């Protein structure tokens, strides 16, 4: 059951990305091009996503003791701001602005745009693993 719901959640996510225009790097760059000719469309993706999730969070998840198919909610425990968070976000923004692709659309592009999406995804995985290595060095053993 948890596997089927994870699969369905992934399918809905992939449909949402495709429909929202997130798989089109030029559209993403147009959204980030605030100082040029700005296309605000994708603000509606973020807005729609946050609003639906926020409503679901406030109405249901906050009132639930545990998820339907699991024994607890796995919510990141960390609350404080730190350098890795800020440094990581800056690097992420540079890569996102350069290519117009972020991790979700990169995965979703695998079948529809294998040439650029696939190569991007391989490099992204390399970056994830490098990041994991750096984090393991930062943490005291």
Partner 1 sequence: MTINFADFTPYAPLIGGGLIGLAAFMLMAVNGRVMGISGILGSALTRFPAGGVSNGWVWRWAFLAGTVLGPLVYLAFRADSILVRPVNDGAWLYIGGFFVGLGSMVGAGCTSGHGICGLARLSLRSMVAVMTFMISAVITVYIVHSGI
CB of 114 to partner 1, least distance (A): 10
CB of 43 to partner 1, least distance (A): 8
Greatest Cα pair distance in the chain: 49
| Residue 137 near partner 1 by CB under 8 A | no
How far is residue 95 from each of residues 51, 71, 90, 100, 115, measured CA to CA in Å?
26, 37, 9, 8, 18
Residue selected from 34, 137, 139, 141 as contacting partner 1 according to rule CB under 8 A: 34
CA 27/CA 40 separation, integer angstroms: 9
Between 12 and 141, CB nearer to partner 1: 12
CB of 77 to partner 1, least distance (A): 11
Angle ∠(103,76,102) on CA atoms, nearest 5: 10
Residue selected from 37, 137, 139, 141 as contacting partner 1 according to rule CB under 8 A: 37
| Residue 139 near partner 1 by CB under 8 A | no
Contact characters 41-80, partner 1, x per CB under 8 A: xxxxxxxxxxxxxx-xx--xx--x-xxxxxxxxxxx-xxx
Site for partner 1 in 11-30 (CB under 8 A): 11-27, 29-30
Question: Residue 111: which residues within 8 A CB-CB, separation 6 or more?
Answer: none
CA 17/CA 11 separation, integer angstroms: 10
């Amino acid at each position: 059951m948890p596997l089927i719901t994870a699969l369905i959640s992934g399918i809905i996510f992939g449909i949402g990305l495709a429909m929202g225009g997130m798989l089109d790097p030029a559209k993403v760059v147009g959204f980030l091009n605030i100082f040029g000719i700005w296309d605000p469309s994708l603000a509606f993706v973020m807005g729609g996503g946050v609003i639906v999730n926020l409503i679901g969070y406030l109405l249901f998840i906050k009132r639930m003791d545990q998820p339907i198919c699991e024994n607890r909610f796995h919510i990141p425990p960390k609350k404080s701001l730190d350098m890795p968070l800020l440094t990581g976000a800056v690097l992420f923004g540079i890569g996102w602005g350069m290519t117009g692709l972020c991790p979700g659309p990169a995965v979703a592009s695998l079948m529809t745009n294998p040439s650029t999406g696939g190569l991007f995804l391989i490099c992204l995985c390399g970056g994830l693993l490098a990041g994991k290595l750096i984090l393991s060095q930062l943490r005291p053993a």
